[in-house]
């Protein structure tokens, strides 16, 4: 049975299933198939050009956020007693609330400070900045498709990459090339990486239950840490200590110099995320629980409940914590005392895979291929970046003005322009399309009644953020496509 030329061409081109090797095999069959293969190859070239121009044009539009906005703001923090317990406010109200009081509370419901209404608080000064809201250049570090790729970048020039080939590669992001040595020795696919360029070290884990520490310049494996009984899923480092979490439900704190396990902290389920600083270890598990531990003694300080799915990512500072889950929520918490109340929630259309809390901004990577920047205090969405034009899940690492984005289809680096922060600006967003933003269900903080408390609240709508410049990008892309097809038809 012989397929007609248009039908065969349409099938291959629409599905995009043929790589270069397969096209060469098809071209060798006959002249007919050679012409089909040639047309399909032209389609591949056009598709790549459109994707490249899409991410380039995307970086030219800050999309409504004031890119140089910064301010020193007063932030309420709950007071605690000598036992570390938050202090509740005594209710002096004698009678029912007035209509004016109810309206004022309703207006304040979306504010982070509403969560502290029943608590004694004091005010501290913190700096907020619209990080990653300006223009940027896009660098394609790799266009090789890899579903198993894991990365870690912590600033500097080097990026660590691991995959199913059991090797760890070091990539120079400035020179845009892989550098020696190639690190090999694991028995299975690399599951997590932790790069410390300052000390010349990289940590890697796989299904063989060990953590290997490598010298990134000599390629030597300097230490092997053993102790987990299940595959290790996550790592984090602080000074000369690091922490690991695994499928055995254990969180282990290690001394980098001696190689000894200092503390073993327990979950009853798989641990997917761990973070640490000098005072705390924070871990998230498959049950949706977030546990906060004392880094020195290993004492469990509090358990935070609110997620309806596994906790996949964490980020915290001295005052606040954010956790991301497969339930599509990033939840905000207080690190102060024994307060366990969820402060606010940031909704996403799919699972949250990466999080960073920087300058009172929450940067999140989602399984819908987008990276979002939220205002931690108000919950408003300031910026939406497209990490994958195909809508593939994306995770990222950020440092200074760089964002390295890992998607199954490619590896990108967004190099943001240097910003001179302006502390005199009145608002973090341009006052445009106000009515549309008010109607957007996923661009604002949730009220208490909307925060996830049961499975009935887990149905999330699609994100419909409309931003200035989107129409211009579409027009430019359509013009680009028209020119490409006119050029292809001439040849």
**Which CATH number do you get for residue 171?**
2.130.10.10
Q: Is 37 part of a structural domain of the chain?
A: yes
| Segment 326-349 mean pLDDT | 95
pLDDT of amino acid 449:
42
Residue 338 shares a structural domain with residue 398: yes
Q: For 258-267, what is each residue's pLDDT tens digit?
A: 999 999 999 9
How many structural domains compose the chain? Answer: 2
The string of DSSP codes covering 421-433 is -BTT-S-SB-S-S
In the sheet that 201-206 helps form, which strands lie side by side, from edge to edge? 190-196, 201-206, 210-215, 221-226
What pLDDT does 114 receive? Answer: 77
Q: What are phi and psi of 477, to 5 degrees?
A: -65, -40
pLDDT for res 22: 73
- Segment 392-402 shows an average pLDDT of 95
> b/e map of 74-104 (b: 16 or more CB within 10 Å)?
ebbbbebeeeeebeeeeeeeeeeeeeeeeee
* Residue 99 counted as domain residue: no
Q: Measure the CA–CA gap between 90 and 98, rounded to whole angstroms.
A: 19
Is residue 109 within 8 Å of residue 50, measured between CB atoms? no
The model's pLDDT over 91-144, given as tens digits with 9 standing for 90+, comes to 645 445 555 555 455 444 446 677 888 899 999 999 999 999 999 999 999 999
Same domain, 279 and 253: yes
**109 within some domain:** no
- Looking at residue 62, its pLDDT comes to 45
Residue 119 covered by a domain: no
CB contact at 8 A, 421 and 128: no
Residues 397 and 430 placed together within one structural domain of the fold: yes
Q: Do both 326 and 458 map to the same domain?
A: yes
Residues 46 and 188 in one domain: no
CA end-to-end distance (rounded Å), the chain: 30
β-bridge pairing 402-406 and 411-416? antiparallel
364 and 371 Cβ atoms separated by less than 8 Å: yes
H or E, element range at 44: helix 31-58
Q: Of 224 and 490, which is predicted with more confidence?
A: 224
**Strand runs labelled E in 101-166:** 121-129, 136-142, 150-152, 158-162
Taking the whole predicted model, whether its pTM rises above 0.95 is answered as no
Judge whether 78 lies within some domain: no
pLDDT for the residue numbered 461: 33
Same domain, 159 and 23: no
Q: Which domain holds residue 438?
A: 58-66+128-470
- Confidence (pLDDT) at 480: 57
| 103 is a domain residue | no
Same domain assignment for residues 484 and 439: no
The pLDDT score that the predictor gives to residue 115 is 83
Residue range 184-203: average pLDDT?
A: 94
Are residues 42 and 133 both part of a single domain? no
pLDDT at 465 > cutoff 70? no
Task: Report the pLDDT value the prediction gives residue 7, as an integer from 0 to 100.
Answer: 42
Give the DSSP letter of residue 446: P
Give yes or no: residues 226 and 278 share one domain: yes
Sheet holding 329-334, edge to edge: 311-316, 320-325, 329-334, 344-347
């Amino acid at each position: 049975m012989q397929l007609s030329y248009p039908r065969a061409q349409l099938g291959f081109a629409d599905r995009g299933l043929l790589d270069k090797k397969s096209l060469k095999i098809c071209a060798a069959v006959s002249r007919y198939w050679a012409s089909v293969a040639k047309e399909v190859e032209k389609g591949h070239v056009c598709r790549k050009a459109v994707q490249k121009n899409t991410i380039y044009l995307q970086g030219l539009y800050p999309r409504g956020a004031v890119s140089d906005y910064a301010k020193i703001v007063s932030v309420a923090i709950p007071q605690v007693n000598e036992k570390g317990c938050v202090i509740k406010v005594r209710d002096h109200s004698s009678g029912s609330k007035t209509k004016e009081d109810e309206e004022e509370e309703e207006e304040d419901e979306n504010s982070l400070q509403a969560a502290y209404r029943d608590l004694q608080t004091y005010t501290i000064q913190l700096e907020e900045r619209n990080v990653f809201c300006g223009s940027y250049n896009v660098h394609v570090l790799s266009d090789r498709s890899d579903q198993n790729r894991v990365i870690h970048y912590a600033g500097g020039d080097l990026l660590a990459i691991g995959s199913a080939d059991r090797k760890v590669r070091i990539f120079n992001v400035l020179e845009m090339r892989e550098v020696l040595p190639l690190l090999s020795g694991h028995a299975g696919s690399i599951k997590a990486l932790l790069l410390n360029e300052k000390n010349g070290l990289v940590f890697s884990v796989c299904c063989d239950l060990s953590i290997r520490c490598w010298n990134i310049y000599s390629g030597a494996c300097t230490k092997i840490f053993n102790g987990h009984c299940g595959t290790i899923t996550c790592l984090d480092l602080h000074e000369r200590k690091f922490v690991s979490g695994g499928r055995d439900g254990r969180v282990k704190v290690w001394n980098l110099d001696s190689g000894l396990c200092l503390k073993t902290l327990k979950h009853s389920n798989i641990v997917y995320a761990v973070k640490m600083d000098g005072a705390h270890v924070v871990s998230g598990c498959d049950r949706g629980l977030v546990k906060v531990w004392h880094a020195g003694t290993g004492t469990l300080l509090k358990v935070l409940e609110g997620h309806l799915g596994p906790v996949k990512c964490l980020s915290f500072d001295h005052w606040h914590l954010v956790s991301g889950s497969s339930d599509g929520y990033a939840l905000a918490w207080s690190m102060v005392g024994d307060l366990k109340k969820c402060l606010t929630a940031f909704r996403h259309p799919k699972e949250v895979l990466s999080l960073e809390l920087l300058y009172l901004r929450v940067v999140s990577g989602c399984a819908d291929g987008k990276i979002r920047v939220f205002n931690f205090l108000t919950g408003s969405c300031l910026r939406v970046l497209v990490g994958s034009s195909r809508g593939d899940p994306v995770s990222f690492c950020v440092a200074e003005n760089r964002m390295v984005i890992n998607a199954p289809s490619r590896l990108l680096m967004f190099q943001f322009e240097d910003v001179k922060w302006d502390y005199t600006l009145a608002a973090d967003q341009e006052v445009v399309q106000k009515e549309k933003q008010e109607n957007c269900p996923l661009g604002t903080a949730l009220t208490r009644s909307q925060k996830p408390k049961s499975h009935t609240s887990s149905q999330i709508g699609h994100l419909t953020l409309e931003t200035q410049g989107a129409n211009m990008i579409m027009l430019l892309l359509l013009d680009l496509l028209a020119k490409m097809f006119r050029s292809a038809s001439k040849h």
